């Protein structure tokens, strides 16, 4: 339970997949330049923030923990077992600190996270929580920071955070934080195969560097045809073009992923690819009913922990409860709900 004063602001944030992930060379700052096409899927974490009026919040917050400012998991989840840190390293807390620094406020808030996005699964779950925290706090604190301001803070917190705010389908460059929306009026249907373990994002990038130093690793093609396939809405065209330079590294670290990728296609998907830094694999299907059939068959194939059926694109982070400008969830429509500058 959130144990603090005042109504919480709740934000829903989607997972992402990379339809195309081209990785350049290692930069001096330890990051790699990317050219990527992100798509937001309807797997959502929920993030609630509430003012934590406790002893700690009267001075600078030097300690986060039970009851006071800090982070907790909502729902029936064991954070340790799930691999989600509840200390100052949690990406949601880091986002709260970064936004506080930007606007000159202490992050004297309690953050509750309801997780549905797999942890360390290459679907940017931690980044989603960071993005959700930024939007929720901007709403709770009634900040006049604007969308661009929030995106700048997001980019400082992590490479994938800006996209979780943005949502839809977008072309990402730089570390992945420079975003341009991609025209996509059509819905794509996916099966998501989750594993019972994660892969560390820096370790997967490091493995790719190692593989490239040792031999010529084939690189994925240009991004333009991917953008055209997304715009056309033709799943069959897009299936031929799904590509991820990190896949070789993820498979090298977790060879069982080869079986998972083969099994999805054998079950009737058009194509499969490792999502981001893995180990989650995503499979593109011709339509929703096919995705349900593929998911059922894949679930019985013993090649993953569990499966989800999903679709995209969906919008980015969105306030679903507690916005003073909007009616409560399930409540009557307001006569004038007013604009939500961040949605």
Ligand X SMILES: Nc1ncnc2c1ncn2[C@@H]1O[C@H](COP(=O)(O)OP(=O)(O)OP(=O)(O)O)[C@@H](O)[C@H]1O
- Would you tell me which residues interact with ligand X (CB under 6 A)? 83-85, 89-92, 113, 119-127, 129, 160, 198, 201, 276-277
Q: Which CB atom, from 171 or from 303, has the smaller least distance to ligand CDM?
A: 171
Smaller CB separation from ligand CDM, 51 or 314: 314
For residue 72, the number of C-alpha atoms closer than 13 Å in the C-beta half-sphere is 18
Which uninterrupted H or E stretch holds 179? strand 178-181
Helix, strand, or coil here: 261?
helix
- Using CA atoms, how far apart are residues 316 and 169, in angstroms rounded to an integer? 10
Using CB under 6 A, pick the residue from 110, 115, 175, 326 that binds ligand CDM. Answer: 175
Q: Is 124 part of any known ligand binding site?
A: yes
**ω into 313 cis (within 30 of 0):** yes
CA angle 80, 158, 49 (to 5 degrees): 60
Please state the closest distance from residue 54 (CB atom) to ligand CDM, in A.
30
Cα–Cα distance between 322 and 171 in angstroms, integer? 31
Q: Which residue has the tokens 């819905």?
A: 187
Of 7-15, 44-52, 198-206, 224-232: span binding ligand CDM (CB under 6 A): 198-206
Q: Does residue 78 have an active-site annotation?
A: no
Taking each helix axis from N to C end, the angle separating 146-157 and 125-140, rounded to the nearest 10 degrees, works out to 140
Identify what 175 binds: ligand X, ligand CDM, none; CB under 5 to 8 Å per kind. ligand CDM
The CB-based long-range contact list for 62-66 (8 Å cut-off, 24+ gap) reads: 64/88, 64/93
Nearest CA among 276, 267, 2 for reference residue 117: 276
Q: How far apart are CA 209 and CA 215, in angstroms?
A: 10
Question: What is the torsion angle, in degrees rounded to the nearest 10, for the CA atoms of residue 120, residue 122, residue 123 and residue 126?
Answer: 40
- Cβ atoms of 89 and 70 within 8 Å: the answer is no
Among 28, 29, 30, 55, binds ligand CDM (CB under 6 A): 30
166 binds ligand CDM (CB under 6 A): no
Which window, 64-72, 157-165, 247-255, 314-322, contacts ligand CDM (CB under 6 A)?
157-165
Contacting residue, 9, 10, 14, 36, with ligand CDM by CB under 6 A: 36
Q: Could you tell me the smallest distance in angstroms from the CB atom of residue 277 to ligand CDM?
A: 4
157 is in the binding site of which of ligand CDM, ligand X, none (Cβ under 5 to 8 A by kind)? none
The C-alpha atoms of residue 92 and residue 126 are separated, in whole angstroms, by 7
Two structure tokens written together for 178 = 């420079």
Contact between 124 and ligand CDM per CB under 6 A: yes
Residue with Cβ nearer ligand CDM (176 or 322) = 176
Instruction: Answer yes or no whether residue 34 interacts with ligand CDM by CB under 6 A.
Output: yes
Catalytic one of 45, 108, 160, 245: 160
Residue 160 known to be catalytic: yes
Q: Which does 85 bind (CB under 5 to 8 A by kind): ligand X, ligand CDM, none?
A: ligand X
**313 touches ligand CDM (CB under 6 A):** no
Q: Is 60 flagged in the annotation as binding?
A: no
SS3 at position 51: strand
90 binds ligand CDM (CB under 6 A): no
Count CB atoms within 10 A of the CB of residue 150: 24
For ligand CDM, how many residues bind (rule: CB under 6 A)? 19
- How many angstroms from the chain centroid is the CA of residue 224? 24
Q: Which residues are annotated as a binding site for ATP?
A: 118-128
Residues labelled catalytic = 16, 160
Q: Which residues are annotated as a binding site?
A: 118-128
Residues that bind ligand CDM in the complex, under the rule CB under 6 A: 18, 21, 30-32, 34, 36, 124, 127, 158-160, 175-176, 201-202, 205, 276-277
């Amino acid at each position: 339970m959130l144990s603090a004063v005042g109504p919480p602001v709740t934000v829903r944030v989607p997972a992402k997949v990379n339809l195309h992930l081209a990785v350049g060379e290692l930069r001096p700052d330890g990051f790699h330049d990317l050219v990527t096409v992100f798509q937001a899927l309807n797997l959502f974490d929920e993030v609630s923030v509430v003012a934590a009026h406790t002893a700690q919040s009267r001075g600078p917050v030097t300690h986060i923990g039970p009851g006071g400012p800090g982070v907790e998991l909502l729902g029936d989840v064991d954070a340790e077992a799930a691999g989600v840190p509840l200390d100052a390293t949690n990406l949601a807390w880091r986002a709260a600190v970064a936004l506080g620094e930007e606007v000159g406020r202490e992050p004297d808030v309690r953050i509750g996270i309801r997780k549905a996005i797999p942890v360390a699964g290459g679907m940017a779950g931690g980044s989603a929580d960071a993005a959700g925290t930024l939007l929720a706090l901007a709403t709770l604190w009634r900040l006049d920071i604007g969308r661009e301001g929030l995106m700048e803070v997001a980019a400082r917190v992590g490479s994938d955070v800006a996209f979780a705010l943005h949502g839809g389908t977008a072309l990402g460059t730089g570390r992945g934080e420079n975003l341009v929306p991609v025209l996509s009026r059509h819905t794509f249907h996916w099966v998501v195969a989750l594993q019972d373990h994660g892969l560390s994002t820096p370790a997967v990038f490091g493995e790719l560097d190692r593989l490239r130093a040792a031999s010529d690793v084939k690189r994925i093609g240009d991004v333009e045809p991917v953008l055209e396939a997304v715009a056309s809405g033709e799943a069959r065209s897009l299936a031929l073009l799904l590509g991820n330079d990190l896949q070789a590294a993820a498979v090298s670290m977790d060879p069982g992923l080869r079986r998972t990728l083969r099994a999805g296609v054998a079950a009737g998907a058009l194509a499969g690819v490792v999502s981001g830094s893995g180990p989650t694999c995503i499979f593109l299907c011709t339509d929703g009913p096919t995705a349900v059939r593929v998911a059922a068959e894949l679930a019985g194939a013993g090649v993953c922990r569990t499966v989800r059926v999903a679709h995209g694109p969906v919008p980015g982070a969105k306030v679903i409860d507690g916005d003073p400008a909007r009616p409560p969830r399930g409540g009557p429509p307001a006569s004038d709900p007013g604009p939500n500058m961040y949605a």
